[in-house]
Structure 1
Amino acid sequence: MTRRWRPSLGFVLGGALTGTLALSFAGLVVLRYLGPEIGFKNAAILLALIITSVTGGLGWLMVRLLVRPIRALERFAADTRAGAGPVDPPAHFGTQETRQTAVSVIDMARTLQDREATIRSFTDHVTHELRTPVSAIRAAVELLEDSPDLTDTDRRLLAKVAGANQQIDQQLEALRRAARARESRYIGDSRPADLLDEMRAAHPGLKIAIQGETEPVSMAAEGVSLILSHLLGNAVAHGATSVLIDVGDNALSVTDDGPGISEGNRDRIFDPFFTTRRDSGGTGMGLTIVRNILTSHGGEITLRPSTAGTSFELRFARRGTA
């Protein structure tokens, strides 16, 4: 960002208003004094030329000082959100106020990128470092299981160790998926109804119905499929037998007929690693992954009040507003 003189927004707007007022006075002068001398028709033509040239100059200044910097900042934000790699900041900032806004937006974007990189680096490091001891524990368990000298108590203890080791492995994999969900981009539009056959094949014991079959949402089919896979998997795991997916206004609701979520757990369901199914293999990361995918695309997921079962509402950001 090069240092150069930049007018204030008040100076630009004040100058534009002053120029407009000056044009009005110029028109009076031209018609009053030059009309009798050169003819009112010629005076009107001269006045039109003056107004056109001055208006064109003011318009060019407004485009250069306001419109172009704002559009450049918008493109920078869109390219940064798309995650296509390093993005060059805008070259022109216009007024002092637009420059300050641009600098703040660029600094915020870089801070968020640094945080995302730090989270991903930390996640990769932790999962990599824990892989070795987890593998060692698994190998030791398998070796001990072959020993003929183990008592029943030893074998029960060994089974607990093996179960805990498997749990750690599942949590590490879930942690990696949650981190990737924040970075993956599913740009495009799709209709959840087009995924109905895929969902029914993946969950054959679940009755799935869709309302609003022609309605699209602002996310590619791959992302919608991943989101619904987690939500339907949770429904099956908690005993649901049917799910209704209602699509409309760039949003969808997913409602099942399961036992629902207790009042004490409603505020914790989106917390990483929170699960009521730890003993049966639950990692507590499914809803976190869903939330990360939606958040990274400008959307959101909320738990809706319901008298029976569980109901989630998912809202997708419209293109250009994420």
Structure 2
Amino acid sequence: MRRWRPSLALVLGGALAGTLGLSFVGLVALRYLGPEIGYRAAAAGLGLTITLATGLVGWLLVRLLLRPIRALGRYAEEEDPQPPAHFGTREIHATARRVIAMAETLRDREATIRSFTDHVTHEIKTPVSAIRAATELLSDSVAEADRPLLASIEGAARQIEAQLAALRDAARARETRWLGQSTLAEVAPTLPIAVELSGADIPLPLAAEGLSVVLTQLCRNAVEAGAGRVWLTAAADGGLLVADDGPGISEGNAARIFEPFFTTRRETGGTGMGLAVVRNLLAAHRATITLERGGRIGAPGEGPTGAVFRIRFG
């Protein structure tokens, strides 16, 4: 049986008309009932009647508007959500159905990406392990002239393993949720470089474990680029600046730093997935990261003259 759902216009118009109607009826009733039963008794009775009628209108608004919206909000926040049972008005029902369909599509897409990533990494891991085992066996009997070739093969195998691990981390960063709040003061002791804090006690909408992953990766990148100090600045509006005194990022590389597998340190083991992991983790928490400045603008010792990243929590 199809359930009747009033339109939003009917609910809001009815609530407004009911409020005005109650006031008008109350005035008319007081005019005629006052002389009959006394103005005090008439006012008390009309006040009780209007209060009950207003409470009924409020209950209808809560049931048809507020409760469905809150249920949809809980559906968006839960890890294993169940669709709301009630949707209220016709417009909220249609909107909720679209939101639920979009959420299910995104969830299926994430599951497909995770399954594909797990399958690819598993399938490639076996031949890479075989290559590593073969190089170990050959290392005892290979001629000296062939050892550079063997070392090159072994290095390529290690690089593939590192890329597979980074790919898994990037996929998992989209799934893991670190809900909660934390401050820079909580995370600073775990970072791999000396940092200067501003707004150290301002709460940021990310649990300490997730914030540590983000800042550790950014600080590690700064260290590997040659920075000696990092500045972390939290703003009251929930934003976060991460700046360093390193050489910065060239204009040619600035547009590609968030691309998966893009790195300028591949010969030293870089996978190019660090910033991709950071971006995915932040995206899972409705946050974004952008490169504000990538080049040196001052002399050493004058503060943050290298790369400057801005994180915005939506």
The question of 1:312 aligning with 2:306 is answered no
Distance 2:39 2:289 in 1: 68
Distance 2:199 2:15 in 1: 50
Q: Secondary structure at the match of 1:57?
A: helix
Give matches, 1:137-216, under 5 Å: 137-148=131-142, 150=143, 152=145, 154-199=146-191, 203=192, 206-216=193-203
**Offset at residue 287 of structure 1 (A):** 0.5
Q: Which amino acid aligns with 1:254?
A: V
Give matches, 1:129-144, under 5 Å: 129-144=123-138
Task: Give the alignment partner of residue 94 of structure 2, picking from 83, 100, 114.
Answer: 100
Residues 38 and 216 of structure 1: CA distance in aligned 2, closer, same or farther (over 3 Å): closer
Q: Which residue of 1 aligns with 2:54?
A: 55
Q: Which residue of 2 aligns with 1:285?
A: 273
Q: Which amino acid aligns with 1:297?
A: H
Q: Which residue of 1 aligns with 2:29?
A: 30
Q: Which residue of 1 aligns with 2:264?
A: 276
Q: Which amino acid aligns with 1:312?
A: F
Distance 1:41 1:10 in 2: 37
Task: Give the alignment partner of residue 109 of structure 1, picking from 103, 113, 135.
Answer: 103
- 1:208-254 CA distance string (max 9 Å, x none): 32233333322222112211211111111112222222233233222
Q: Which amino acid aligns with 1:165?
A: A
Q: Secondary structure at the match of 1:193?
A: helix
Q: Which residue of 1 aligns with 2:42?
A: 43
Q: Which residue of 1 aligns with 2:247?
A: 259
Q: Work out whether residues 231 and 244 of structure 2, in 8 Å CA contact, stay in contact via their aligned partners in 1.
A: yes
Distance 2:57 2:181 in 1: 41
- 1:63-85 CA distance string (max 9 Å, x none): 11111111111111121xxx2x3
Unaligned 5+ residue runs, structure 1? Answer: 318-322
Q: Work out whether residues 170 and 276 of structure 2, in 8 Å CA contact, stay in contact via their aligned partners in 1.
A: yes
Distance 2:5 2:42 in 1: 37
Distance 2:271 2:162 in 1: 7
- 1:262-312 CA distance string (max 9 Å, x none): 111111111111111111111000001111111111222111125331111
Give matches, 1:233-244, under 5 Å: 233-244=220-231
Residues 23 and 254 of structure 1: CA distance in aligned 2, closer, same or farther (over 3 Å): same
Q: Which amino acid aligns with 1:50?
A: T
**Offset at residue 198 of structure 1 (A):** 2.6
Residues 24 and 193 of structure 1: CA distance in aligned 2, closer, same or farther (over 3 Å): closer
The question of 1:298 aligning with 2:292 is answered no
Q: Which amino acid aligns with 1:125?
A: H
Q: Which amino acid aligns with 1:287?
A: L
Distance 2:28 2:107 in 1: 59
**Offset at residue 15 of structure 1 (A):** 1.2
Distance 2:37 2:189 in 1: 81
**Offset at residue 151 of structure 1 (A):** 5.2
Q: Work out whether residues 293 and 306 of structure 2, in 8 Å CA contact, stay in contact via their aligned partners in 1.
A: no
Q: Work out whether residues 195 and 230 of structure 2, in 8 Å CA contact, stay in contact via their aligned partners in 1.
A: yes
Q: Which residue of 1 aligns with 2:218?
A: 231
Structure 1 segments (4+ residues) deviating >6 Å: none
Range that drifts further, 128-137 or 302-311: 302-311
Q: Secondary structure at the match of 1:45?
A: helix
Q: Which residue of 2 aligns with 1:122?
A: 116
Q: Secondary structure at the match of 1:264?
A: helix
- 1:176-218 CA distance string (max 9 Å, x none): 111111111212222222333332xxx3xx4432233333322
Q: Secondary structure at the match of 1:314?
A: strand
Q: Secondary structure at the match of 2:137?
A: helix
Aligned length: 304
Residues 92 and 241 of structure 1: CA distance in aligned 2, closer, same or farther (over 3 Å): same
Identity %: 59
Q: Which amino acid aligns with 1:98?
A: I
- 1:22-68 CA distance string (max 9 Å, x none): 21331232133333333323322232133122212211111111111
Unaligned 5+ residue runs, structure 2? Answer: 298-304
Distance 1:124 1:64 in 2: 44
